[in-house]
C-alpha cells in the first residue's frame, strides 16, 4: 500500500504539534490577567441620591423624546422630498 508511511508520519506530526500547542484557556487567562489587572484599579465610589436619579431619568426621557421627534420630522420630510422627486421625474 503506497502512501501509508506518509500518512502515518503526518498523523505523528499533527499529534506532536498538538502537544506543543498548549491550552487555549491557559493562554487566555495569562494574557488577560497581566494586561488588564493594573487598569481596573479605579472604581466609581460615588452614590447617587434618589433625587439625583429622578432628575437624571427625567432629563434622559426629555432628551429621548426630543430626539424621537426630530427623527420623525426628518423621516417625514425625506418622504415628502422623495415623493416630490418621483412626481417630477414622472412628468418629464
Tens of pLDDT, residue by residue over 16-46, are: 877 776 677 677 766 655 555 555 555 667 7
With 0.75 as the threshold, say if the pTM is over it: no
Cα 72 to Cα 27, 62, 77, 85, 86: the distances in Å are 50, 15, 9, 20, 21
Question: Tens digits of per-residue pLDDT, 55-74?
Answer: 999 999 999 999 999 999 99
Mean pLDDT of 68-83: 97
| The pLDDT value given to residue 41 | 57
| The pLDDT value given to residue 26 | 73
Amino acid at each position: 500500500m503506497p502512501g501509508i508511511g506518509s500518512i502515518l508520519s503526518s498523523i505523528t506530526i499533527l499529534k506532536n504539534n498538538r502537544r506543543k500547542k498548549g491550552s487555549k484557556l491557559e493562554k487566555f487567562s495569562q494574557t488577560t490577567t497581566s494586561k488588564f489587572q493594573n487598569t481596573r484599579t479605579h472604581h466609581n465610589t460615588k452614590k447617587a441620591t434618589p433625587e439625583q436619579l429622578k432628575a437624571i431619568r427625567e432629563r434622559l426621557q426629555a432628551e429621548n423624546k426630543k430626539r424621537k421627534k426630530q427623527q420623525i420630522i426628518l423621516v417625514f420630510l425625506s418622504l415628502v422630498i422623495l415623493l416630490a422627486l418621483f412626481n417630477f421625474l414622472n412628468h418629464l
